Amino acid sequence: MVAESARARGMDMVIAAIKEETFPEIESCGYPVHWLGLGQLGKLIKVFQQAGVTKAIMAGQVRHVQIFGSSLPDLTMIKTLAGLKQKTTDALIGAVAGVLEESGIRLIDSTEFLAPHLAPEGTLTRRGLNKREKSDLEFGRPVAHRIALLDVGQTIVVRDRAVVAVESMEGTDATILRAGQLAGQRELTVIKVSKPRQDMRFDVPVVGPSTVESMITAGATALVLDARRTLLVDRAHLIETADSHDIALESLPPIE
């Protein structure tokens, strides 16, 4: 999506693709692609500097659990990690952003090329929230906000004004599926929020058709998002799938 938007603007790009995460289809994007391991921060900087890059944008997902994976960090990454007091998402990616900045590469807003894909405020599906879902939202959204403030996760799943599941490293879809198992696959409300004072350079909330598919499996009936801070991937398909299963999608102003 970022590559398509950049091409439409007539901009040149160099893509650094993370071996552990990036789909191989990125090779057909029409821009030079350099493959590197997740821990190869020094190589990333070298690739960008040789290409004359002064601004960079993060696109797609790097699963937080990868920090416990088999990727071997290079010396630049080892030094970066050594200076961290904690390994939350903001701390990890913020530190990488700082090293890039020191190397003359400024990390820009990750939605710079994706503004049309940000969730607008309002009801996105045929139906809005029913009485039960509104009650779960009233109870759950402040809880989700608090968890996001702690940089633990962005998603909670609620049923009957009780928190069934909280997202941590496993990601939104896995959290929803776990909630379905715990709650007997019925009457769940999914609440996904941005962080207070969300740094739009990284870790912006994203939902797509796979999110709704997970909700269908888990028996979830509603998804509540933060307007203007949540990216909708394949929005038409997402909403069509939600409507066909009577799932409500609501987008609300973020809590600051």
Q: Give the model's pLDDT for residue 69.
A: 63
For 247, the token pair is: 């799932």
- So what's the pLDDT on residue 250? 98
Residue 66 has a pLDDT of 66
- pLDDT of amino acid 64: 67
In the block, which residue shows the tokens 């069934």?
164
Chunked in runs of 10, what are the mean pLDDT values of the chain (256 residues)? 91 92 91 92 95 93 67 85 82 89 94 93 98 98 94 95 94 96 94 90 91 98 97 96 98 92
| Residue that has been written with the tokens 């040149």 in this structure | 12
pLDDT on residue 38? 84
Is the domain covering 118-252 a CATH 3.40.140.80 domain? yes
| Residue with the two structure tokens 């500097």 | 49
Q: Name the helix (H) or strand (E) containing 29.
A: none
Q: Which class in CATH covers the domain with range 2-107?
A: alpha beta
Q: Distances in Å between the alpha carbon of 253 and those of 130, 159, 224, 236?
A: 19, 22, 11, 21
Of how many residues is the chain composed?
256
Domain ranges of the chain: 2-107, 118-252
Question: What pLDDT was estimated at residue 102?
Answer: 95
- 173, containing H or E segment: helix 172-182
Residue 176 contacts by C-beta under 8 Å, 6 or more apart in sequence?
Answer: 155, 157, 165, 188, 190, 211, 214, 215, 217, 218, 220
Q: HSE (CB half, 13 Å, CA atoms) of 100?
A: 22
Return the SS3 of 67: helix
